[in-house]
Amino acid sequence: MQRRQFLQASALASTLLLVPKFLHALDRPETALAARLRDAPGGAARRLIVVQLGGGNDGLNTLVPYRNDLYYKARPTLALKEADGLLPLGDELALHPSMKGLKGLFDQGQVAICNAVGYPNPDRSHFRSMDIWQTGSGSEQLLSTGWLGRYLDSTCAGGAPAYQALELDDTLSLALKGATRNGLALKNPGKFHQLTQSRYLSALSQEKAAAPAGSELDYLYKTLAETASSADYLYDKSKIHTSTATYPNTDFGKSLKTTAELIGSGVESRVYYLALSGFDTHVRQHEQQSRLLGELSDGLAALAADLQKSNEWNNTLVMVFSEFGRRVTQNASNGTDHGTANNVFLLSGALRKLGLLNQPASLQDLDQGDLRYQLDFRSLYASILTDWLGADDKLVLGPGIEKLAGLV
């Protein structure tokens, strides 16, 4: 069988290139990474769930400065008012009316909010700005590896299976691609396992003996073997725990539920990556953003309750980000255009700092009509890597990034 024919014919082709380039033992009882994380601060293995809001969520109508006259002046029809059902978090800021689930978690001390998060010389292109966030780079850098991929590189030197980092999607984001280790992309364990039962896998297995060591076919076979091993592991584990919680009946809600079930089943994965798209609200923003923020809020509240029930919420940190915010002034289509700085939400049962962590960006001192960033997103990454995942942030992000002390 020709390698090209195999890749074209097999449904596994979209997944094969998402596993690590360097292959290790598949039957290791406990990985070096799992042992390291088990000894991390707090005494229990911790995990990170990253939620990406694709399209550039409007932070000003998510966390609303409802007592600021400049906000209402800039958005005469788009601004949200107290009469709209805003959910106050204090005297100056309130959550969008659709975010009752998140408001409940905030009141329980399980949410921290960072205002005006961004980076120097911001880029307003969806693709470029998302690359910057996913690689953990400066706007002047072009990196081919993601910050979580480099985290895997730095912590999996002793060998670890591909499922240490999972993306609940059909394709793997740049964020989870490292130089020597990658995460694994799958919609759910059942479908992923079914793909690995392809007859092409059996055909390739019969050819492995004839494959010269180090050849493309040898590499492909080993890659398939690790993919199949990971699929078997995840499928078998997923049978252990089935969630009875009610999640939004959407792709995002299903991904959250699958994540909770994998965690509840004892899967070793330490990073989960999910996305909720549709936030590019140039036109008629009210309806679209309200629906999406409601889906986000309800889904996160269900996840928190689900993981509390399985005693895993205190070992879990959720980070919610978007590639940029929107411009302060509304456009002529009752929407908003691409902006810069935005808010980032952190959720956990074990946060050390709670509530609003810093002041919102000034609406009086703008940068060409955009919010000025106050907090570099890489400082958040550095804190999460060091204080939550027990990694060396300098190996992942490079030197010169100051982390936020005492955050997690």
Show me where the domains of the chain are located: 3-397
Phi then psi dihedrals of residue 224, to 5 deg = -60, -40
- pLDDT at position 180: 87
How is residue 349 written in tokens? Answer: 């049962």
Distance in angstroms (rounded) separating the CA atoms of residues 177 and 287:
35
Our measurement of the distance from residue 98's CA atom to the centroid of its chain's CA atoms, rounded to an integer in Å, reads: 21
Spell out a b/e string for 91-113, using b for 16 or more CB atoms within 10 Å of the CB, else e: eebbbbbbbebbbbbbeeebbbb
Q: Give the distance from CA 231 to its chain's centroid.
A: 21
Residue-level pLDDT at 208: 54
Residue tagged 């330490």 (tokens): 270
Beta bridge partners of 50: 273, 319
148 token code pair = 């979580």
Consecutive H or E run containing 318: strand 316-322
Q: What is the pLDDT of residue 160?
A: 67
* Residue (of 129, 134, 147, 165) closest to 279 by Cα position: 129
Q: At 137, which amino acid appears?
A: S
33-57 burial code (b ≥16 CB/10 A, e <16): bbebbeebeeeebbbbbbbbbebbb
Backbone angles phi, psi at 293, to 5 degrees: -70, -35
Nearest by Cα to 313 from 38, 36, 168, 111: 111
Q: Which fold has domain 3-397?
A: Alkaline Phosphatase, subunit A (3.40.720)
Q: Is 319 helix (H, G, I), strand (E, B) or coil?
A: strand
pLDDT of residue 233: 86
pTM as predicted = 0.88
Cα 238 from Cα 190, distance rounded (Å): 8
Question: Could you tell me the two tokens for 186?
Answer: 């799958």
CA dihedral sign, ordered 162, 388, 57, 378: negative
CB neighbours of residue 305 within 10 Å = 16
Q: How far apart are CA 86 and CA 84, in angstroms?
A: 6
User: Can you tell me which residue has the tokens 């079914």?
Assistant: 194
Whether residue 97 contacts residue 290, with contact meaning beta carbons closer than 8 Å, is answered with yes
The pLDDT, as a whole number, for residue 35 is 45
Could you read off the pLDDT tens digit of each residue along the chain, which spans 408 residues? 444 444 433 434 444 434 333 333 333 333 444 444 444 444 468 999 999 999 999 999 999 999 999 999 999 999 999 999 999 999 999 999 999 999 999 999 999 999 999 999 999 999 999 999 999 999 999 999 999 999 999 987 556 677 899 999 999 999 999 998 899 999 988 888 777 776 665 555 555 555 566 556 565 666 676 777 788 888 888 888 899 999 999 999 999 999 999 999 999 899 999 999 999 999 999 999 999 999 999 999 999 999 999 999 999 999 999 999 999 999 999 999 999 999 999 999 999 999 999 999 999 999 999 999 999 999 999 999 999 999 999 999 999 999 998 888
Q: What per-residue confidence (pLDDT) applies to 201?
A: 59
Q: Whose CA is closest to 375, among 300, 321, 316?
A: 321
- Residue with token string 């969008």: 96
Cβ-based neighbour number of residue 218 at 10 Å: 15
